[in-house]
């Protein structure tokens, strides 16, 4: 299954808000619909929203009926700014938009050529991510013990990337290589990406898995049922601090206490060279109703105040290794993150 693809001039995407109960696909050539899909998490996952935004910029070029290059540039820049406003934390979004911005800045010919250049760049970004997922998966399985049980948080598989996934890509590769015994899935409150999406992916892949409430993880670790924890990432600072779905920091603390390896899996495009540490990472706050309601049903006092950050950041001291498409980055992270050539290839 492809959660997102270019089909006959339209972007076709799986509406992830409807999973696992319905596999519903949208097809659109409307920039606003694509941007809204990213904002409301119908399209989600750091690499995938970057891919979607890249396609969205291409879509914008096809909707322009202008011969004046100055006006064309303005309209494309409007689309780029629209996508940049959708989700603040995942750096892959801005990385993909910067690539399209460079295409626009170099363009000096016809709108027809611009359309081709932007679409080809979006397809290239999509294909590159699929390749990066494979490289991450192959690198990551080398860190796993035989017959292991893995705990993961949120969703970092085909629904979040252009390929098999980052953390979940490692899990599916381990299953194929018969190194995996079982997967435990955090439900991942408040939007239940683990319960709705990762469980759906495990079921599709016929991988033995157990869903747990987020606050059950410590008990499993105490019972020695977890060998490894692997999570994805939305942004990695130069010192190795890593932003991921809210609740990841909790797991990292528990992993250190129970002496369990805690791995982060992400492409090098997730490393933000402009961010020195986790305190500088912009953390998105979500709508209060996402915490107060489930499927539109109120589950708390309507008047209660809500604090609902979508992400937290895990300090680098709690991370055993960062698994990238260039190989495995071991602590200390700082200068190695600046120079991908120093990443250990395995």
CA gap 258, 135 in Å, rounded: 29
CA gap 207, 191 in Å, rounded: 23
Region of 312 please: left (phi>0), alpha (psi -120 to 50) or beta. beta
Where helices occur in 63-110 by DSSP H, the ranges are 69-84, 91-106
CA gap 11, 56 in Å, rounded: 8
H or E, element range at 251: helix 248-257
Listed residue (339, 20, 35) closest to 159, CA to CA = 20
DSSP calls for 144-172: PPTTEEEEE-S--STTTSSSS-SHHHHHH
Q: Which residue has the tokens 């924890």?
A: 229
H or E, element range at 31: helix 31-39
CA gap 160, 294 in Å, rounded: 22
Active-site residue numbers?
Answer: 234
Other beta carbons within 10 Å of 185: 24
Full strand arrangement of the beta sheet holding 235-236: 235-236, 242-245, 311-314
Burial (0-12, 13-18, 19+ Cβ within 10 Å), 26: middle
* Residue 44, C-beta contacts closer than 8 angstroms, at least 6 positions apart: 16, 38, 155, 159, 160, 193
CA gap 194, 184 in Å, rounded: 10
């Amino acid at each position: 299954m492809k959660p997102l693809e270019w089909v006959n001039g339209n972007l076709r995407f799986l509406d992830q808000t409807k999973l696992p109960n319905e596999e519903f696909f949208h097809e659109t050539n409307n920039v606003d619909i694509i941007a809204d899909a990213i904002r409301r998490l119908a399209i989600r996952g750091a690499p995938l929203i970057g891919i979607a935004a890249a396609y969205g910029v291409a879509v914008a070029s096809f909707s322009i009926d202008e011969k004046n290059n100055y006006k064309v540039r303005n309209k494309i820049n409007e689309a780029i700014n629209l996508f940049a406003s959708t989700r603040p934390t995942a750096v892959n979004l801005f990385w993909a938009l910067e690539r399209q911005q460079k295409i626009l800045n170099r363009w000096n010919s016809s709108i027809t050529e611009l359309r081709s250049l932007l679409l080809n760049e979006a397809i290239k970004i999509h294909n590159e991510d699929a390749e990066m997922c494979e490289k991450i998966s192959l690198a990551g399985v080398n860190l796993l013990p035989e017959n292991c049980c893995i705990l993961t948080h949120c969703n970092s598989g085909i629904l979040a990337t252009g390929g098999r996934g980052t953390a979940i890509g490692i899990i599916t590769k381990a299953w194929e290589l018969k190194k995996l015994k079982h997967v435990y899935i955090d439900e991942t409150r408040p939007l239940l990406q683990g319960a709705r999406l990762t469980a759906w992916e495990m079921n599709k892949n016929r991988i033995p898995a157990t869903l747990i409430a987020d606050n059950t993880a410590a008990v499993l670790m105490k019972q020695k049922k977890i060998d490894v924890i692997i999570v994805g990432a939305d942004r990695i600072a130069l010192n190795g601090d890593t932003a991921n779905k809210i609740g990841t920091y909790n797991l990292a603390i528990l992993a250190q206490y129970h002496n369990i390896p805690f791995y982060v899996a992400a492409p090098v495009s997730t490393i933000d060279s402009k961010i020195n540490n986790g305190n500088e990472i912009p953390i998105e706050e979500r709508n209060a109703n996402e915490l107060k309601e489930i499927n539109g049903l109120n589950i708390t006092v309507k008047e209660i105040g809500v604090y609902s950050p979508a992400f937290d950041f895990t300090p680098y001291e709690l991370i055993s290794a960062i698994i990238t498409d260039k190989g495995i980055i071991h602590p200390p992270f700082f200068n190695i993150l600046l120079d991908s050539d120093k990443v250990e290839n395995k």
